[in-house]
Amino acid sequence: MKRNLLAALAGLVVVSAALPAQDSATIRTQIDTWFAKARRSAPGSWGIVVADRTGNVLWSQNENTPLIPASTVKLLTTGFARSSVGGDARRATRVIGSGQVNLATGTWEGPWALELNGDVTLERPGRSGTSLADLAHQLAMIGVRRLTGPLQVISAGGDAVSRFPTVWEDRHRGHTFAPLIGQVTLNENLVTFTVAPGAKVGARASLIGTAPAGIASLVEITAKTVAGSRNSALRFAAIGNGRYRISGTIGTKARARGFTATASNPTVVLEAAWAHATEAAGIEWSRPAVSGLLALAGPRRVLAEIVSEPFDSVAHEVNSRSLNIGAELMLLWGGGRNAATMLNQHIASITGLASGLYHLVDGSGLSGSDRVAPIVFTTYLARLPQMPGMQNFPLLLPANGSGTLRSLARGLPEAGVVRAKTGTLGNVSTLVGYLGRSDGPLLIAAMYNGTRSGNAKAMQWDLFRALGAQGVVLPVDMGTAAFGGPPLSENPLRP
């Protein structure tokens, strides 16, 4: 029996006209059959809500039980940050200076600094985004041919540093899915070094590529070239102060091999990449061996600036790739120092549900301390698109057949029937989102905490396939018209 979303916690039972009675009965029968199989396939803690387009619950299991949500937190982070900054907002990276260009020598006379503001798209070879090369080129265009002094890094968004979040477990430290987080971000705070055999046996292995470009000075290669193709035994290790070592052996006929690691000191990476960018732009940068930083005294001005893609483009990529650093930077973008607190407040303002049903400490869902009840997700999915400017919110999530929803390419009529976010940890599998149907979208939160997360994920895919076998593409505008509700001024779901 359907239960009104606002009365769910009180256990009140009402009748909803959101879907024809026969359709509701069919949906409940389908889910009953599915869940009987799901419990056998993946014993553990299940939390499930399937709601209609107005948010009325059609079927539920442990709807008020907070569970570990994993990366489905990114869905909430996206809504919060977009509500705060807007879909067209961009992140800027700048060269800031206090002084002037000596036109006779091309020297910038006065202090200068790089301003980084947490642009997750900065300096990513092979992906769209901004580049330090463009920034340096702009500097050259105003006549700068020589920079002096050490690198200073500032930020308009807080401290110009990146750290490992204290709310993340130490076991994640060093994994590429858990890089350092902060305003100083380039190449998603990862470094990649690619090596190939040397010219002959006994020669040192050759460094043939880096990402970001220009960080060759950060790696020490002691690996030697040996005969054959099966004698490769390369080792990669961080050696402190933002530097790395590649040792061991590589065969003369072996393929090139790449090593990717988290940047242990993003500022050191930035300095090396900036030196490369300025050199390529024809700018000589003289860095003293020992020198104190010069304060940006007097009037500051922007000497060069590059900007990220709009928030909506960034958010769609973050959700499609389930990019943890991107979600954390979106959280900072929307809330600054008190971002986690503001995220919880945002959820309260949209859903109107008690805070005991959710508790988030990060923006990515990587923390095992995060908790969300499934009713929170479906309430949020119902209400957020009814807020001004948020009608297209579902389009910020990947469609079936793309990104983390690649496995949903099979069993659904076409792409766009589903817009959803996955969440996966060792003991967690979650799937939350929208499912298009001719009689109106369904809102689904399928959460599992237990030891059979792989089986649970397969069953969650099956639930969406079963309910969406005759699905339709979700509308671009998911406001009240799509949900069949009254105007915003009259809508009882509006907080």
Q: Are 44 and 449 in contact (CB under 8 A)?
A: yes
Closest CA to 238 of 223, 218, 257, 256: 218
**Count of CB atoms situated within 10 Å of the CB of 315:** 26
The rounded distance, in Å, linking the Cα atoms of 48 and 2 is 14
pLDDT at position 267 is 96
CB under 8 Å to 409, separation ≥6 — which residues? 400, 401, 415
CB under 8 Å to 406, separation ≥6 — which residues? none
Q: What is the CA radius of gyration of the chain?
A: 26
Q: Please report, in angstroms and rounded to a whole number, the separation of the first and last CA atoms in the chain.
A: 25
List the chain pLDDT tens, one digit each, 495 residues. Answer: 333 333 332 332 222 334 443 378 889 999 999 999 999 999 999 999 999 988 999 999 999 999 999 999 999 999 999 999 999 999 999 999 999 999 999 999 999 999 999 999 999 988 999 999 999 999 999 999 999 999 999 999 888 999 999 999 999 999 999 999 999 999 999 999 999 999 999 999 999 999 999 999 999 999 999 998 776 799 999 998 899 999 999 999 999 999 999 999 999 999 999 999 999 999 999 987 655 555 676 688 999 999 999 999 999 999 999 999 999 999 999 998 899 999 999 999 999 998 899 999 999 999 999 999 999 999 999 999 999 999 999 999 999 999 999 999 899 999 999 999 999 999 999 999 999 999 899 999 999 999 999 999 999 999 999 999 999 999 877 765 555 444 433 333 332
**Count of CB atoms situated within 10 Å of the CB of 385:** 21
Closest CA to 92 of 304, 308, 270, 271: 308
Find the length of the chain. 495
**Count of CB atoms situated within 10 Å of the CB of 192:** 17
Q: Where in the chain is the domain with CATH 3.40.710.10?
A: 5-86+311-490
Task: State which fold the 5-86+311-490 domain adopts.
Answer: Beta-lactamase (3.40.710)
Structure tokens at 303: 């000497």
pLDDT at position 479 is 67
Backbone angles phi, psi at 91, to 5 degrees: -105, 135
Q: Which residues pair with 225 in a beta bridge?
A: 250
Q: Are 377 and 49 in contact (CB under 8 A)?
A: yes
pLDDT at position 297 is 65
